[in-house]
Amino acid sequence: MTNSKEDLEKTRELITEQSMKDLLTKQLEVVGSGGAFVWAIFFLCVTPNILNGFHVSSYTLLGHLPDDQWCGIDALQPTNWTLAEKRSISEYELESGGCTIWDWDYEHLSRMSYSSALNYTRHMALINKPTVVSCKTKGSYEYAEPETTFVADWELTCERSIQRTSAQVALSLGKFCGSFSFGILADKFGRKTSFTLGAAFFIAGSIFCTFTPWYSVFLIGRFALGSASSGLFYPAFTMIVENICLKHRTWMSIAFSASYPVGMILLAIVGYLIQPWRYLQLALTIPSLLLILNCYLMNESPRWLITKQRYSRVYQILFGQPSHYDIQPAIATATETCSDKKTLESATNDTLVEKLKNGPLKSIIELFANPKVRRYIFTSYFMFCVTSLSYYVTALNAANFSVSRYLYIVATGVVDIPSYVVPVIMLRYTGRRITTMFLFMLTGVSLLLVLSVPAGSTTWIVSFAMLGRFGISATYSVVTLYTAELYPTEIRNSALGTCSTWAHVGSISAPYVVDVLGALGWYIPTTICGCCVLVAGLLTLTLPETGTDKLTDKVEDAPAIESAPEKQ
């Protein structure tokens, strides 16, 4: 055993750092062109995104408004009146959905027969009409099929209806915070580390949402799920982009995004079969335990490890055996030695602010320090914000139509899947920039066409809503790929993370655009989105083409707008 170790030490070779980088990069290109390495990354990264489709869309089934709601008046419970008879007296000519009732003396009415009580209330209403009071003053809310929605568990209706919306807002806020923080963590500590932390948040949030008896804890669980969705999505997507060759990178990145609507379709099927909301939430939680297996089998991103000079670990991943190379130490000149001493002395005297600049905030600062990258990042922020705003505005407008929520989710997922296939074909022949611009323009025109539809033409409005969703889903997938390729490896995840943060500014704003501006005119939300999307399409022309074989690693090597577009 000792002799074998000595022989291994003797066979180790000295190699310069640059030669080691070249060796590992070349091997990454080889293994990233096909085989077990590529498919392992693909499946380990794609399957968690199906779970994102589960939970992010589950609000439509878990928190829907009850199909019917009325006020259960305590004083009328002992009577033998039917439910319709009770409501004909307490809610006569009121259209509040059981939130308010007439302020009758229900103790007195309960001692009468129904016909006598009806005649009495009609006669008294002509003489002295009673006031309208909240249901809670006389009884409690009752619902049709209360077990199918968490609204019934915590009475999130009437004056508390805004708290029902907070379940979706908590998710969006979680995605807002998670996209920013997990992006920084992935660049600083690694893609796998960020993914693992996201998986832990996802499992914990799912368990909270399933078993908690308190709405506040349920909101914490929703916030954790939102944060985790970013923690799972962006590190996994980055792993695909930076480790797989261009031949597979395009279709795999689109397939990665298409796994989200697959989750939506599965959600609708499971939701139709399992009606009680807690059992449905449990059914969505159990698959999240598979994330433990993903974390165990997943390797760290080799390209990220190369930028962090962890060459031995990269060699082990790519060659499947320990490295037999030692990095040859660089021979420093007298000038460099003096400079290193000054650097060491200054490092010991660094303030807290300087340590933050050179530590956790370094990748964020680099996004704005370089003028070229700064111009790109502001354009990317606008593109992401507008895309997300349009996506959710379209979804919220379409949801207001009288259709089955299960069929609507399935239809949305079915529409989304081909929207991810179309860009694969376009990207192959027109490149990133032209494809992105065309899809923005198509989406903008589709949304503005709603102006030509009369308000009563439900079929046409739904058709344009689905067309808008098709276009914006296709745009989203291409914009994510384009952004991932646009920025160097050392700041790629920070760029994707902060872009996602701005995307969630759009998603949080969408309900207000629909409810507040939509009240002024039903066409205003789609008109605003259509105009913004067209502007985003024009801004795409200020970005360079990125459809090349080589991704940049350093900020100073970021692609320039002058580079000629290449068809891929």
Q: Estimate the share of the chain in helix, then strand, then coil, as percent rounded to the nearest 5.
A: 75, 5, 20
Q: What is the pLDDT of residue 554?
A: 61
Q: What is the pLDDT of residue 566?
A: 42
- Residues with Cβ < 8 Å from 152, sequence gap 6 or more? 66, 141, 143, 146
| Tokens representing residue 25 in the block | 């990069």
d(CA 287, CA 41): 19
Query: Taking the CB of residue 322, how many other CB atoms lie within 10 A of it?
Result: 10
Query: Taking the CB of residue 507, how many other CB atoms lie within 10 A of it?
Result: 24
Which of 3.60.15.10, 1.20.1250.20, 3.90.550.10, 3.40.47.10 would CATH assign to domain 363-560?
A: 1.20.1250.20
| Tokens representing residue 68 in the block | 């019917």
The answer to whether 182 and 197 have CB atoms below 8 angstroms apart is yes
The answer to whether 220 and 288 have CB atoms below 8 angstroms apart is no
- Where do the DSSP E strands lie in 118-206? 132-134, 139-143
d(CA 80, CA 75): 12
Taking only the tens of pLDDT, the chain with its 568 residues reads 445 545 545 567 777 767 777 777 777 777 777 778 888 888 888 888 888 888 767 877 888 878 888 888 888 888 888 888 888 888 887 877 888 888 888 888 888 888 888 888 888 888 788 888 888 888 888 888 888 889 888 988 888 877 887 887 888 888 888 877 887 788 888 888 889 999 999 999 999 999 999 999 999 999 999 888 888 888 888 888 888 877 787 788 778 878 888 888 899 899 999 989 999 999 999 998 989 998 888 888 888 888 887 778 878 888 878 877 777 676 555 554 555 555 555 555 556 555 555 555 666 676 777 777 788 888 989 999 999 888 877 776 654 555 677 877 887 888 888 887 888 788 878 888 888 899 999 888 888 887 777 766 767 777 777 788 888 888 887 888 888 888 877 777 778 778 877 888 888 887 777 766 776 777 788 889 899 999 999 999 888 887 665 666 665 555 655 444 443 3
Q: What is the pLDDT of residue 281?
A: 92
Q: Which amino acid, residue 187?
A: D
Question: Closest Cα to residue 194, out of 490, 492, 493?
Answer: 493
Q: What is the pLDDT of residue 562?
A: 47
d(CA 257, CA 169): 23
Q: What is the pLDDT of residue 331?
A: 59
d(CA 107, CA 64): 34
- Where do the DSSP E strands lie in 88-236? 100-102, 132-134, 139-143
CATH 1.20.1250.20 intervals, the chain: 13-62+146-326, 363-560
Give backbone dihedrals phi and psi of 218, rounded to 5 degrees, phi first: -60, -40
Assigned fold of 13-62+146-326: Growth Hormone; Chain: A; (1.20.1250)
d(CA 526, CA 393): 7
Give backbone dihedrals phi and psi of 396, rounded to 5 degrees, phi first: -70, -40
d(CA 478, CA 472): 10
CA distances from 507 to 126, 174, 348 (A): 50, 12, 44
Q: What is the pLDDT of residue 565?
A: 40
